Chains A and B, each alone.
Chain A
Amino acid sequence: GAVVSQHPSWVICKSGTSVKIECRSLDFQATTMFWYRQFPKQSLMLMATSNEGSKATYEQGVEKDKFLINHASLTLSTLTVTSAHPEDSSFYICSAERAAGNTIYFGEGSWLTVV
């Protein structure tokens, strides 16, 4: 079956630094990838929709200059948390779909802790 991989699974960084999380579709080309964050015991919150070769579409309230999303190829999207602060500590999950409206596959998620 389709597999979506995220890296790193865990990352601890100092406040003020930037962190990059990668999301890869391993056995299919994903024209669209989605980035979510999830706080403990809460559901997923969509941050942005990433389309290959174009600018990401951010949800209301999500700072596009703070959460930089790049979708440079059909198998890779990256999320960079810039100037991270402790309140950015969260679980970040990406997802990808093989074709519009098809089954969505999720990565394993990345735990970010900002100290």
Chain B
Amino acid sequence: KQEVTQIPAALSVPEGENLVLNCSFTDSAIYNLQWFRQDPGKGLTSLLLIQSSQREQTSGRLNASLDKSSGRSTLYIAASQPGDSATYLCAVRRSSYDKVIFGPGTSLSVIP
């Protein structure tokens, strides 16, 4: 059974700092991995999608890496801003028709 964990559960950093969020999954046989952002009381916004054959994806200040063999993914946020404050969730999928398994999320606070 696939299990997804995220470390740390919460993180508080001063504005401008670079930071890394971690995601681990127990079953390396995944189809893809997706990072989401959720603001309080809101739905989820897709940030980056990494297919199993890919090693990383980049979008603006965000970079996500994937190491399937070790069951890990990281989300790197450069030059953090207060507007980055949110909960970040990673989610994995075993196949294109399988359900998505979410991690518990990392709550990020960027202090001005």
Contacts and interface: CB of A to CB of B under 8 A. Distances in A.
A11 to B, nearest CB: 14
Interface in A64-115: 91, 93, 95, 100-101, 103-109, 111
Given A43-B89, A43-B102, A101-B97, A108 B43 contact: yes
B99 A107 contact: no
Contact of B97 (A34, A95, A100): A100
Given A43-B89, A111-B41, A103 B46 contact: yes
A109 B42 contact: yes
A44 interface: yes
A6 interface: yes
Nearest to A45: B102
Interface of A: 4, 6, 34, 42-44, 46, 49, 59, 91, 93, 95, 100-101, 103-109, 111
The 10 residue pairs across chains A and B that have the minimum distance between CB atoms: A101-B96, A106-B44, A100-B96, A108-B43, A106-B43, A109-B43, A43-B104, A103-B49, A43-B102, A44-B102
22 contacts: A4-B43, A43-B89, A43-B103, A43-B104, A44-B89, A44-B102, A46-B99, A46-B100, A49-B99, A91-B41, A95-B44, A100-B96, A101-B93, A101-B96, A103-B34, A103-B46, A104-B100, A105-B46, A107-B43, A109-B41, A109-B43, A111-B41
